[in-house]
Structure 1
Amino acid sequence: MYFDTELLEIVPRPITPPDVAAPPADATTTASGLAYKVLRPGRGDKHPSRASKVAVHYSGWTTNGRMFDSSVLRGTPSEFPLDEVIKGWTEGLQLMTVGEKTRFWIPAKLAYPHDRTKPQGMLVFDIELISIK
């Protein structure tokens, strides 16, 4: 039995941000401790609500620079209700508009504080908001 395989594209691995260890001085920090920096502004003024379903591309790193997840590598945006993700995403995505790309430094208490199977400590995500449904 033989198979023909065709390479359609090579998706480059997202580059680890140089500031994963801690938010830079020009990052904004919310009352909850979520820090963020807009990397690319979005369009319009519509923001998702907790009840919104959103589509995003994202990559996530630990503070030592290890990437642990990326929809960019999978080549398919992720879709989910905003009230069914970690607290840091629920809060942070409500600050974004469609087309915006933002880097978030999410403290452990807003990430996976009770799930030891997930990365622990502060997590860093680059998130691009593709659509709000």
Structure 2
Amino acid sequence: MRHRILRGLLAAVFAVSLVACSNSGDGPDGKKTTAVKSTPDANSPKLTYAGGKPLIKFPKADPPKELKVTVLEKGKGAEIEASDVIVADYVGQVWGKTQPFDSSFAKGTPLRMPLSKLVPGWGKGLAGLHVGDKVMLSIPPKDGYGPSGQPDAGISGDDTIVFYVEVHDALSITEAGQADATAVVDQATLPVRITGAIGKPVTKVEVKENAAEPTTRTKTVIARGTGPEVGSKGTMYVSYYVASKDGTVKETTWDGKRGPQASTIGRGTPFDELVGTPVGSRVLLTVPKTQENSGSASSVPPVFVVVDILAYYQDG
């Protein structure tokens, strides 16, 4: 039942880009690899621009054999962890080549994805850096696409790939809403008991015995944040805890494994009810009984969802 709820509540979110792949954190020999942090030198790739878009210019030197991180500009934001969801713009090129194989700058939309879903060099290279940093990641095959490469992108199994990355934001795996969000309702009047203070992960949601089963979707703002309001289009990131009155449904993103989830607004999910609510808020959603799949006799019981709104991006 666990993943049925996730599929039913969320619209698909993480677009697969050329940087996406499994992140094991190990080289092909099974050994852990670490990043070499450095400042720019004569053998470092340089940042240039063409048509207002960043490009990477390579030195007349062999690529590094180990993962190398060159910090071009330091940010002042939160420290990044390897388990974070990252929000960043990037351009990727094979070492020595003049044209990118992928670029969010050209697409006009930043990358928003868990570091664990990217090539290992991203997580190992960005961990310990900070939001606002601008860096070059020189990634050897063992921390990139491995011996198979990525032929569709023109990347061989022997190629070192380099990304110029501007980190805009990072959401931790246990990210919660705004700690100083303003309480709107007395939680004692809610149909659920919530364990977890405002601004902290929710560890338990119990539906009260006298709670009426929801027959329509409703939204109750528990604490109002001060961020921008969620618009009628775009993507939002949320953390949540789902529970049903009969106890058959219990689902959370605060389990230290899933982390924040993204939902594309306007696809008919219950999270569309959050439109107009400020980022940083904690909200209680009620969702009536729904069919598991179109034409299926199986159904998901009515559920109560405690949601923290973490971020909102107006795409396009």
Aligned match for 1:15, one of 48, 55, 80: 55
Give the CA deviation at 1:102: 0.3
Equivalent residue for 1:57?
A: 89
Q: Is the 8 A contact 1:53 1:81 kept in 2?
A: yes
Q: Which amino acid aligns with 2:73?
A: R
Q: Is the 8 A contact 2:81 2:128 kept in 1?
A: no
TM-score, length-scaled by structure 2: 0.34
Equivalent residue for 2:170?
A: 132
Aligned match for 2:109, one of 76, 79, 83: 76
For residues 68-118 of structure 1, give each alpha carbon's deviation from its aligned partner in whole angstroms, at most 9, with x where no partner exists. 110011111110011111010110111320111001110011100134435
For residues 49-83 of structure 1, give each alpha carbon's deviation from its aligned partner in whole angstroms, at most 9, with x where no partner exists. 22211101000111122311100111111100111
Give the CA deviation at 1:21: 5.3
In structure 1, the gaps of 5 or more residues are 1-10, 24-28
Q: Is the 8 A contact 2:121 2:144 kept in 1?
A: yes
In structure 2, the gaps of 5 or more residues are 1-50, 172-316
Query: CA distance change for structure 1 residues 130 and 39 in 2, over 3 Å: closer, same or farther?
Result: same
Q: Is the 8 A contact 1:50 1:90 kept in 2?
A: yes
Q: In 2, Cα distance between the equivalents of 1:20 and 1:96?
A: 28
Please tell me whether Structure 1 or Structure 2 has the larger radius of gyration of its CA atoms: 2
Q: Which amino acid aligns with 1:37?
A: T
Structure with more relative contact order (C-alpha pairs < 8 Å, separation 6 or more) = 1
Q: Is the 8 A contact 1:96 1:129 kept in 2?
A: no
RMSD, aligned CA: 2.2
Aligned match for 1:93, one of 115, 126, 132: 126
